Amino acid sequence: MAGSALDGKVVLITGSAKRVGAAIARRLHASGANLILHHHSAKAEANALLAELNAARANSAATVQANLLNAAELPELVRTAVARFGRLDVLVNNASSFHATPLGEIKLSDWDDLLGTNLKAPLFLSQAAAPHLKSAHGCIVNLTDIHADRPLKGYVVYSVAKAGLASLTRSLARELGPEVRVNGVAPGPVLWPEDGSFDELARQRVISHTLLRRAGEPDDIASAVYYLVAEAPYVTGQIIAVDGGRSVNV
């Protein structure tokens, strides 16, 4: 796609096989980016997205499988991107675990899983990517959450993990500037958990706290990520809430 904003740029997106990650992938790819699509267990969805993107533009995307809880696998994601496309310009830390952890029922495995995917993996993946991002004068976008600032009742560990990711976003902006910009996007109600933990009543209760009185779409998040990647050269250390106004009304 000649003349597109991200022509020749290489983007690694974690958790990009489906849901918000896939929307981000489609948005950045449509603007000319070449993609490394990470997945853990969603192999079928990753391969379907890969076929879709490569049909639109040949040899523009590749997949890589990794368990983000295994820190030893994280540098390999970066090496795969550089080996496939010769560079790395953008890292999008999208992958996330989400499940309830009421106080009194929290297990060490909950801590390891939620902190591992939401904070530990973004940190060590960013560290591995940093030399390449500096060379490219690239950027990092972290998917945080409005509950980083306003904890979600019953989700203690998740809220703590996302608060850590928000702090990591600002810390990395200081550590990696001026060569690398680091920002975040904090989604509100966009897609509901697949485990059925939010029934219709719970969903309507959440939506009622948005100023726009509706849920968002994955493309709303993808557009914010695109803005930070392609249209915000003087923005770093910032987190944009894309939540229909919920974060100022809860």
**Cα torsion 106, 110, 111, 117: sign:** negative
Query: Is residue 33 helix, strand or coil?
Result: coil
Residues 6+ apart with CB under 8 A from 50: 37, 61, 62, 63
Which residue, among 95, 163, 147, has the nearest Cα to 125 in the 3D structure? 95
| CA 137/CA 139 separation, integer angstroms | 7
Alpha carbon distances (Å) from 51 to 9, 104, 154: 20, 46, 39
Please tell me the distance from the alpha carbon of residue 165 to that of residue 123, in angstroms, as a whole number: 8
234 is catalytic: no
Q: Taking the CA atoms of 224, 226, 231 and 235 in sequence, report the sign of the dihedral they define.
A: positive
- Considering 158, 226, 227, 234, which one is annotated as catalytic? 158
Nearest to 152 by CA among 215, 99, 93, 110: 99
Q: Among all residues, which ones are annotated catalytic?
A: 158
